[in-house]
Amino acid sequence: MSDTQFDVIVIGAGPGGYVAAIRAAQLGLKTAIVEEKHLGGICLNWGCIPTKALLSGAAVAQQLKHAGQFGFTVASVDFDIQQLVQHSRKVSSQLVQGIGQLLKKNQVTVFTARAQFIGKEQLEVTDVDGKKQQISAPHIIVATGAKAANLAQIPVDGQHVWSYKEALIPEELPKSLLVVGSGAIGSEFASLYQDLGCQVTLVDIAKQILPSEDLEVAKYVQKQFEQQGMQVLTDAAVQKIEIVQGQVHCHVETSSEVKVIIVDKVLSAIGVRPNSQNLGLEALGIEFENGFIKVDQWCKTNVVGVYAIGDVAGAPCLAHKASHEAILCVEKIAGVANVHALDRTQIPGCIFTHPQVASIGLTEQKAKAAGLNVNIGKFPLQANGKALALGETAGFVKTIFDQKTGELLGAHMVGHEVTEHIQGFAIAKYLEATDESLAQVIFPHPTLSEAMHESVLSAMQRAIHI
């Protein structure tokens, strides 16, 4: 095989693309990956990882604030946001380097270039100097991700109006910030900046914050945000913004009035749109759905030999969904036996706000709308010994079971480190656990996870500690 002919080529090196390339190489396929900007994609460079590094700083701020209950007097605290940003960038670049090494170790050929289809099995790759070459493979996986969506009335200028990129590398902590959009990204930044000492206003056009989450969870988190001093406006739309003497005047229409909120910065976090254009996909006759590449359960497009995974292939736009699709797509290409199609009900979602939110499966509203009769269990962290010991009593665990079969339909958690614990319910759901089987599981004491057990017991009217 020549240097430009491969078994598999992957476009984009995010958690979809680089995982696909490594798995393909592991399976003995001659593999290339084409990445125009940065190995690791949005996730490692401008998404999951750098946000969590900043949020770790916000958690320290909270620990200092509440140090008194453990006997510590914190006389004065200096905070330099530049050092926190440096920590975040360092973590990011360390991981990005690691991806380079992994690709090398697995003998994946890396093209630092922009890729475009010029035929069904053929790509033209153009590097930063404009040098072009053609490469080809019978299997080409598009993993080009997504970018921030914009609203015409809130134009991002990078200075007064930020996208998530600017919010990750602020020069200084703004005194006030208005976040438009309360999905995972918007809410995480709102929580981060509020915890660091900024006055945050969170605005969403939806009737609840965290619009994909269970209503009870969303209401609880809103209350927590408000108790922390955040202003939360739901059912509210930013009509227009004006820059006046270096500040942003935001005209926000609520159900009762139009008010002008004046802030230092605005963060536009209204969602993402797929990077599905300028790839030559239209000429191939690829089908799209709202701009996302349409795929079947094996991530195949309507054109044989062309596949799409990750954000560009549709919601939920999550790194672990991208990586999961990467593996099943490549294993199917390689003819591995027993590959399982993606079951979207099995994808956990984590939101790293303060308090954290984690969920899997159906919300109460969706279960009921589907006509299911459900048993619902709920257990507050206030009644959990470990939560009290940690001084982290905000939150609860809610579990939803099918009344007839006892099947776990959904689990919704708010509170300290619930993003670590949701995996327990993810495994349970994958193994088709029922309330009866989960009730038999022994949870260690004293742990926050006992609240998960108690929630299950509560659904069976058998909770011990409430």
Ligand X SMILES: Cc1cc2nc3c(=O)[nH]c(=O)nc-3n(C[C@H](O)[C@H](O)[C@H](O)COP(=O)(O)OP(=O)(O)OC[C@H]3O[C@@H](n4cnc5c(N)ncnc54)[C@H](O)[C@@H]3O)c2cc1C
- Please give the helix or strand (H or E) that residue 237 lies within, else none: strand 237-244
Rg value, the chain, Cα: 24
Locus of tokens 């079947």: 296
Question: Per rule CB under 6 A, is residue 377 in the interface with ligand X?
Answer: no
Strand, helix or coil for residue 233: strand
The least distance separating ligand X from the CB of residue 41, rounded to whole angstroms, comes to: 2
Residue 299 to residue 306: CA distance in whole angstroms: 9
Question: Per rule CB under 6 A, is residue 196 in the interface with ligand X?
Answer: no
Site size with ligand X, rule: CB under 6 A: 37
The least distance separating ligand X from the CB of residue 403, rounded to whole angstroms, comes to: 32
Helix (H), strand (E), coil (C) string for 423-449: HHHHHHHHCCCEHHHHHHCCCCCCCCC
Helices (H), 230-354: 281-284, 319-334
- The amino acid occupying position 413 is M
The annotation status of 181 as a binding-site residue, yes or no, is yes
Please say whether the beta carbons of 250 and 237 come within 8 A. no
Report the residue from 181, 274, 310, 314 that binds ligand X according to the rule CB under 6 A.
310
Binding mask 264-283 for ligand X (x = CB under 6 A): -----------x---x----
Which tokens in the block code for residue 204? 């969403």
Query: How distant is the alpha carbon of residue 50 from its chain centre?
Result: 12
Report the residue from 7, 25, 29, 36 that binds ligand X according to the rule CB under 6 A.
36
Which tokens in the block code for residue 143? 């993993």
Which tokens in the block code for residue 141? 């996986």
Confirm whether 87 is a catalytic residue.
Answer: no
Report the residue from 47, 183, 274, 395 that binds ligand X according to the rule CB under 6 A.
47
The least distance separating ligand X from the CB of residue 269, rounded to whole angstroms, comes to: 8
Of 73, 278, 246, 128, the C-alpha closest to 176 is: 246
Closest to ligand X by CB, 17 vs 355, is 17
Question: Per rule CB under 6 A, is residue 213 in the interface with ligand X?
Answer: no
Q: Restricting to residues 134-153, which ones interact with ligand X according to CB under 6 A?
A: 143-146
Of 139, 445, 453, 465, the active-site residue reads 445
The least distance separating ligand X from the CB of residue 257, rounded to whole angstroms, comes to: 31
Question: Per rule CB under 6 A, is residue 181 in the interface with ligand X?
Answer: no
Annotated binding site for FAD: 52, 311
Looking at the annotation, which residues are catalytic? 445
Annotated binding site: 52, 181-188, 271, 311
Q: Which residues bind ligand X (CB under 6 A)?
A: 11-17, 34-38, 41-43, 46-48, 51, 114-115, 143-146, 164, 185, 275, 279, 310-312, 317-320, 322
